[in-house]
């Protein structure tokens, strides 16, 4: 019998100390794994991994090592968090700080948008100005999601360059 099996039995019996020990034993490895998969979201991903594990604990069947199962859950969590963060509509284009962000800034942003190549301008307007998700932009333009992601990144970079110049 492996140590995880005994911990699982104790956890099923309601032993809180077993739950704490289980998390203490596996959390560092899961956190390291999440740092590789989702660097900026590692802590959130590791916590969500354990939350999902315990939310479905009554259906968990111990076959082998629990850490392997946790890795599978963590992989799904990292993919979900990365996808969610990639597709969140951005309320505004990152702009340099300024005290008077009124009409002058809107004019500068308008000029910067007008100077983008048509394919980047179209994506920037749909994604940044309209707040559409990348999947929706891809569907509207009839192009693949990877191309939309590339164009959003390029449009953001180009807008930042143009706005720094002005």
Q: Please say whether the beta carbons of 74 and 49 come within 8 A.
A: yes
pLDDT digits (tens, 9 = 90+) for 133-144: 888 778 777 789
pLDDT digits (tens, 9 = 90+) for 103-119: 666 667 777 877 888 78
Rounded distance, CA 141 to CA 85, Å?
21
Burial of 155 (0-12, 13-18, 19+ CB in 10 A): buried
Q: Structure pTM? A: 0.51
pLDDT digits (tens, 9 = 90+) for 32-69: 888 867 777 889 999 999 999 999 888 888 887 788 78
What is the reported pLDDT for 74?
Answer: 84
Rounded distance, CA 115 to CA 23, Å?
53
Other CB atoms within a 10 A radius of the CB of residue 123 amount to: 28
Domains for the chain: give ranges and CATH numbers. 3-87 (1.10.1740.10), 103-165 (1.10.10.10)
Close Cβ partners of 32 (under 8 Å, ≥ 6 residues apart): none
């Amino acid at each position: 019998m492996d140590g995880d099996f005994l911990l699982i039995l104790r956890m099923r019996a309601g032993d809180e100390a077993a739950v704490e020990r289980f998390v203490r034993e596996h959390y560092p490895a899961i956190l390291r794994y999440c740092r590789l998969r989702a660097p900026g979201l590692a802590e959130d991903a590791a916590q969500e991994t354990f939350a999902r594990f315990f939310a479905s604990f009554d259906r968990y069947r111990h076959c082998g090592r629990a850490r392997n199962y946790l890795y599978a859950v963590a992989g799904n969590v990292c993919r979900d968090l990365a996808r969610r963060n990639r597709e969140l509509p951005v309320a505004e284009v990152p702009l340099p700080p300024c005290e008077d962000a009124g009409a002058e800034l809107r004019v500068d942003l308008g000029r910067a948008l007008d100077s983008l190549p048509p394919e980047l301008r179209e994506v920037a307007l749909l994604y940044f100005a309209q707040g559409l998700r990348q999947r929706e932009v891809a569907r509207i333009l009839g192009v693949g999601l990877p191309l939309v992601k590339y164009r959003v990144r390029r449009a953001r970079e180009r807008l930042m360059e143009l706005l720094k110049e002005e």
